[in-house]
A and B are shown apart, each in its own frame.
Chain A
Amino acid sequence: MHEWALAESVIKTAVEHAARGKLRSVSEVAVFLGELQSIDKEIFAFALAELVKSSFKGLSGCKFRLLAEPAAFKCKACSKEFTLKVLKKTEEEAENIHFIPEMAHTFLKCPRCKSPDFDITAGRGVSIKFIKGEA
């Protein structure tokens, strides 16, 4: 349920964005949920809905689009590009990556050269694609 903490960050960012842009309301927020962090989409959506109730009124009609973003990696040692599907991890390791996605460097290795020195080029965790609203 640590999804709540991240959902709260999305709400707060949307509110701050509205304040900066002098928006009366926010109509749509698109959120990427990176495959690596494996955020529970239902819990995240529920948390957003609950948090909106006690937030800026201009968010009350906001539609949150939760978009799955596939994880992608590139090895810095051998330049191999790979996806999460080819990597093996235990349930406990997946749970640790769920809390701190950078633990991927502890538990995952490049499938070709076995190096932990790779870039997470996409699909790390929670990020906001766009925020739309009316002034």
Chain B
Amino acid sequence: MANLDPRPSVIGVRLSKIKRMIAVTGWKGGIGKSVTASALALLLAKKGFKTGLLDLDLAGASAHVVLGAGGAFPKEEMGLEPPIVAGVKFMSVAFFSNNKAVPLRGANVSHAIIEMLAITQWGELDFLIIDMPPGINDAALDVIRLLPRAEILAVTTPSVIAHSVLERSLELYKSLKVPVLGVIANMERGAGDRSTTARAVCKRPLAGRRAGNRSGGVRLRLDPREGEPRLLAGRVRYDSALEKALGSPDKILKTNFAKDLGKIADFMFCGMPEL
């Protein structure tokens, strides 16, 4: 018989004490996935939730830069225990790459992801936030395959290009019956009070179960003039101060970006038990 890979057998065990897994995606590069995922993890941890952050963007790992996690390293204890950075249990391939490039082909990406999932001891978590790479690639498909409980939180920007890519991703998630929590409209300019118009999407994912138009596809409508935004979880204003806050969790949490995202998180996770 061909050699058996034993590692996938324990992935379910490693994730068994995690209540919810949120994969922050959007397929397009440069739309703020890593900052959104990292800030969301910081916000949830600040609210008292036990929170983890897993950076699966192996080629472009950057959550460690957002968190300022330099110097942190996992502890060997029946596997690897993620270091706690600003209250967030954090795991990234960046711990092992010495700040060098990680040039991996698809099969190797899968191997690395399976290895990380098999050896990381997360323990009990209310949330595991997953920073996804752009595109529908090995990492994205592995998350669907290996983390079937993961819910998609998509990020987009006002760009028609980002919307176009996002619509295709939502179409695929719908066909694969992957639950989609909602879409965060990031880098909104002149959004004003609309940034606070987050819709409550707690408990029930919007796509993958019931969203879709008559043709069976998912049509993303983020412009209120087109009617009720179907998948919009909320808007996050473009914040020119965010760049200078990167690397400092305390500063990030004080930005308007984090304030807008925090309102969305409040709505999205309002079904979670009160602390």
Contacts and interface: CB of A to CB of B under 8 A. Distances in A.
A13 B13 CA distance: 12
A9 B119 CA distance: 9
A12 B5 contact: no
Contacts of A17: 4
Interface string B1-16: 1011111111001100
A5 B79 contact: yes
A2 B80 CA distance: 6
Contacts of A131: 4
Nearest to A103: B96
A9 B7 contact: yes
B3 A6 contact: no
B4 A13 contact: yes
Looking at chain A, what size class is its interface with the partner chain?
Answer: 35 or more
Interface stretch (B102-110, B129-137, B184-192, B232-240): B102-110
Looking at chain B, what size class is its interface with the partner chain?
Answer: 35 or more
A106 B9 contact: no
A134 interface: no
B65 to A, nearest CB: 17
A21 to B, nearest CB: 12
12 contacts: A1-B78, A8-B78, A9-B10, A17-B4, A32-B3, A100-B112, A101-B115, A103-B93, A103-B96, A127-B3, A128-B5, A129-B3
Interface of A: 1-2, 4-6, 8-10, 12-13, 16-17, 32, 76, 92-93, 96, 99-103, 105-107, 116-117, 120, 124-131
Given A101-B115, A127-B6, 19 more contacts: A1-B77, A5-B14, A5-B78, A5-B121, A6-B6, A9-B118, A12-B6, A12-B9, A13-B4, A17-B4, A99-B119, A100-B112, A101-B111, A102-B102, A102-B115, A117-B103, A127-B5, A130-B1, A131-B4
Interface of B: 1, 3-10, 13-14, 74, 76-80, 93, 96-98, 100-105, 108-109, 111-112, 115-116, 118-119, 121
